[in-house]
C-alpha cells in the first residue's frame, strides 16, 4: 500500500534558525497537503500543492512539490516560538484517492 515517510521525527532549533521537514511517498501523488498541529490542538490545514515542481510561499514558510510528485518539503526561515508544533504532510494517491499522513515532524524552538 501507499507509504508516506516524513523526516526528521523531531527537530529542535534555536529561535532564528531555519527548519526543514521532508516528505517522501512510495507512489506518485495527485497532490500533497501540509498541516500544523500545535501542542494540545488539532491539525490545521496550511497548504495544498498539486503541480509537479510547484513552489508556494506563506510568509516565512516555503512549500515544494517534487518534479516526480513523490516528495515534498516545508522550509521555515528564521523560526519563531510561534512555529512550535508538529508538521504533517498528507499525500493523496493518484490512483485511488487514498490520503495518507506522514508521521509528522515535531518542531521545538528555543527562545
Of the candidates 24, 30, 62, 77, which one interacts with other proteins according to CB under 8 A? 30
For residues 13 and 83, what is the distance between their CA atoms, to the nearest angstrom?
Answer: 11
Q: Is 31 in the site for other proteins (CB under 8 A)?
A: yes
Q: Is 104 in the site for other proteins (CB under 8 A)?
A: yes
Q: List the x/- string, 45-84, binding to other proteins by CB under 8 A.
A: x--x-x----------------------------------
- Element (H or E) spanning 103, and its range? none
Of the candidates 11, 21, 25, 33, which one interacts with other proteins according to CB under 8 A? 33
Closest CB 22 distance from other proteins, rounded Å: 15
Closest CB 13 distance from other proteins, rounded Å: 21
Beta bridge partners of 88: 35
Q: In what order do the strands lie in the sheet with 55-58?
A: 4-7, 19-25, 71-76, 61-65, 55-58
Q: Is 44 in the site for other proteins (CB under 8 A)?
A: yes
For residues 81 and 109, what is the distance between their CA atoms, to the nearest angstrom?
Answer: 5
For residues 75 and 43, what is the distance between their CA atoms, to the nearest angstrom?
Answer: 18
Q: Is 85 in the site for other proteins (CB under 8 A)?
A: no
Closest CB 103 distance from other proteins, rounded Å: 4
End-to-end CA separation in angstroms for the chain? 41
Amino acid at each position: 500500500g501507499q507509504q508516506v515517510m516524513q523526516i526528521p521525527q523531531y527537530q529542535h532549533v534555536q529561535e532564528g534558525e531555519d527548519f526543514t521537514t521532508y516528505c517522501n511517498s512510495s507512489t506518485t501523488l495527485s497532490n500533497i497537503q501540509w498541516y500544523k498541529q500545535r501542542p494540545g490542538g488539532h491539525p490545521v490545514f496550511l497548504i495544498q500543492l498539486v503541480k509537479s515542481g510547484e513552489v508556494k510561499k506563506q510568509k516565512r514558510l516555503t512549500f515544494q512539490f517534487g518534479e516526480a510528485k513523490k516528495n515534498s518539503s516545508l522550509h521555515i526561515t528564521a523560526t519563531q516560538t510561534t512555529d512550535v508544533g508538529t508538521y504533517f504532510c498528507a499525500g493523496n494517491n493518484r490512483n485511488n484517492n487514498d490520503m495518507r499522513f506522514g508521521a509528522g515532524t515535531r518542531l521545538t524552538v528555543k527562545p
